[in-house]
Structure 1
Amino acid sequence: MLRKLGMIVLALFGVVALAGAGKPLPARSVGNWNATVVRTPIDSHLLGNPNAKVKLVEYISYTCPHCAHFEQESDAQLRIGLIATGKGSIEVRSFVRDGIDMTVALLTHCGAPNRFFANHNAFLRSQQTWIAPVMTATEAQKARWYNGPLPSRTRAIASDLHLYDIMEKRGYSRAETDRCLADTALAGRLAKHTQEAVDNDYVNGTPSFVLNGVPLAGTYSWAALKPQLEAALD
């Protein structure tokens, strides 16, 4: 089913999947690893020591309630026990399931790489609030979400779900937010990367994790992930 999902997303957005973004930014050799962020050639973001012993990849969908719950439970513990020590890194990859997911993913990528994780946290932590209007949206609203050029669709979603308000609180102007919502090249790449995750990393739900290159079967929560991280750090 997820194999079809990636193709549906590609078709839905009517964009061509392009090659990965440019070279990642150089990592800091010393200092606060919690302030070290690298944007990778596959449009993911890596937090921490890029040469760490333990490398955790997270596949996240912004409309997934389990992903929001995982972020709230794990973020502080991961930053203290994994990232700060330099022994571990976290790489977040967007897994886009529909137009709302794509809209939020584009907004988390808005701005310099070092802004990503704060954007990411802001949308996951407020998910219950901004996703609530979906339940009462009219057919006319939904038609605006899924018809027409990408920028008009994403802006309609951002307006109806009050995502502009979140971005304004994060320091983004309306013009900056609109530019990010109109990034058809990035949207194409994110859809392509989602399909690759299904094909290559066996992602069958979110959140999903890859630890040191090995997909973690049956691991969808902090309670299930934590002992595996601790074993890897030993």
Structure 2
Amino acid sequence: MTILSRRLLLVAAAGASLVLAGCGKGAGPTASAEDMTLGDANAPVKVVEYASVTCSHCAAFNETTFPQFKAKYIDTGKVHYTFKEFLTPPEQVAAAGFLVARCAGKDKYFTVIDALFRSQQEMFQSGDMRGGLLRVAQSAGMTEAQFNACIQDEAALKALNDRVEKAIRQDGISATPTFVVNGKKVKEGDITLAELDAAIAEASK
């Protein structure tokens, strides 16, 4: 069992108490079978976002910019969007969140991710990480027993760790959020819709 595995198990404990840390900092990626995507796979522009559900900048993008981006580009078939999971402190909370999103099923994955982002500030202010994660899981139809089994799934955790390791080693990712458009890294950190507009316009030439 890895250190992260042992820490992740703590999230299942009722008394788990964790603190908020900042977003992680430290050739072109492509969507693979394990990635979660939205939009037309044949769209001419591919936008990849590396994000963590414990990253405040990622939560801000999800709330302020993503809805406009989705309506303008994903829903219209102009962009194929890929969400790639990354772990930022506290990593065990981020990992648990991603495991819950995947346990909820592909049809509910992005709904759970959105709920996690929206619950982020409350969880960190209250310190009740487990309670916040459990409420999100229950809103997706999971029981507490299913939630506990989900976040203690060693195989799923290993697969998540492998995806993150690939992002670091192969894709050169060191911060969240990071945005890649048609294989070109265009921004690390906060990004505006105008900046995405410019990157997509350039990729469309």
Quote the offset at 1:222 in angstroms. 2.6
- Matched residues in 1 for 2:140 and 2:187: separation? 35
- Matched residues in 1 for 2:189 and 2:198: separation? 11
Quote the offset at 1:13 in angstroms. 2.0
Quote the offset at 1:182 in angstroms. 2.1
The structure with more helix, counted as a fraction of residues:
1
Q: Which has the larger radius of gyration?
A: 1
- Matched residues in 1 for 2:124 and 2:200: separation? 31
Match of 1:196 in 2: 166
What are the equivalent positions in structure 2 for 1:130-149 lying under 5 Å apart? 130-134=123-127
The answer to whether the 8 A contact 1:168-1:174 is kept is yes
Match of 1:104 in 2: 97
Q: Deviations over 1:127-167 (max 9, x none)?
A: 11112233xx8xxxxxxxxxxxxxxxxxxx524xx321222
The gaps in structure 2 that reach 5 residues or longer are: 7-30
What are the equivalent positions in structure 2 for 1:18-33 lying under 5 Å apart? none
- TM-score when normalising by structure 2: 0.77
- Matched residues in 2 for 1:49 and 1:188: separation? 29
Does residue 181 (structure 1) correspond to residue 173 (structure 2)? The answer is no
Does residue 158 (structure 1) correspond to residue 130 (structure 2)? The answer is yes
Opposite residue 176 of structure 2, the aligned amino acid is T
Q: Equivalent residue of 2:84, what SS?
A: strand
- TM-score when normalising by structure 1: 0.68
- Matched residues in 2 for 1:57 and 1:206: separation? 12
The answer to whether the 8 A contact 1:63-1:100 is kept is yes
Q: Equivalent residue of 1:126, what SS?
A: helix
What are the equivalent positions in structure 2 for 1:15-94 lying under 5 Å apart? 40-41=32-33, 43-94=34-85
Quote the offset at 1:233 in angstroms. 4.1
CA 1:11/1:164 → structure 2, altered by over 3 Å: closer, same or farther? closer
Match of 1:13 in 2: 5
Length, aligned pairs only: 178
Q: Taking every aligned residue pair, what percent have the same amino acid on both sides?
A: 27
The answer to whether the 8 A contact 2:57-2:176 is kept is yes
Opposite residue 46 of structure 1, the aligned amino acid is T
